[in-house]
Amino acid sequence: SAVISQKPSRDICQRGTSLTIQCQVDSQVTMMFWYRQQPGQSLTLIATANQGSEATYESGFVIDKFPISRPNLTFSTLTVSNMSPEDSSIYLCSVSRDIDSGANVLTFGAGSRLTVL
Amino acid sequence: AQSVTQLGSHVSVSEGALVLLRCNYSSSVPPYLFWYVQYPNQGLQLLLKYTTGATLVKGINGFEAEFKKSETSFHLTKPSAHMSDAAEYFCAASSSGGYQKVTFGTGTKLQVIP
């Protein structure tokens, strides 16, 4: 299965600043997904990123706040813009590991833990 | 839309005891179901999945889960807990067919007491 590297693994940021999270996959993948993991809450899908097209955002997430780039089949970035303490969370990159049996099995990076002061 | 409910945000068991983590889903049609495990400072890893066929699914590390359509449940079990099982476990569901959105439960932290 694919190996996913995320950077940074953690960061402490000031309110009002922006931070870009990088996700590198060791093989070419069609679809990449960005999730947010908040304490006590389920993983929430932010957006789906396909190479060569605009990312598709879930309800409650907008491109101005979470711009995503997908320049090639092995790399994506998520920017958290104009951060507030409410954005403190773990952000996870994932890819579809395979579609055997028609199931979307996901592989995840280790996550990027952001704390906004 | 799918929703997944995990009963109990924290579960404690003694080493060697049965592990039972509960998961219920809400769907108009039987979904595909998954259990993922997350060890500290690591990404989620797939434990097992149910798509079609046999309703009792075996996964890695001795875990298994049974799909019960009548109860809309997919509980995760392991006969004998090991210290290394301490982690957070997430139940998830998706519709069938390709790159469907995966919906996760809120997770259950398993503590194993020596």
Q: Say if the Cβ atoms of A92 and B9 lie within 8 Å.
A: no
Q: Say if the Cβ atoms of B43 and A110 lie within 8 Å.
A: yes
- Interface residue A61 vs chain B (CB under 8 A): no
Give B77-94 pLDDT, tens digit per residue. Answer: 999 999 999 999 999 998
| Nearest residue of chain B to residue A58 (CA atoms) | B101
Return the closest-CA partner of residue B35 out of A36, A105, A101. A105
pLDDT at position B38 is: 93
Give A6-64 pLDDT, tens digit per residue. Answer: 999 999 999 999 999 999 999 998 889 999 998 778 899 999 998 878 899 999 999 99
Give the span between the Cα atoms of A58 and A72, in whole angstroms. 22
Q: Say if the Cβ atoms of B96 and A102 lie within 8 Å.
A: yes
| Nearest residue of chain A to residue B99 (CA atoms) | A104
Give the span between the Cα atoms of B26 and B24, in whole angstroms. 7
Query: With contact defined as beta carbons under 8 Å apart, do B51 and A101 qualify?
Result: yes
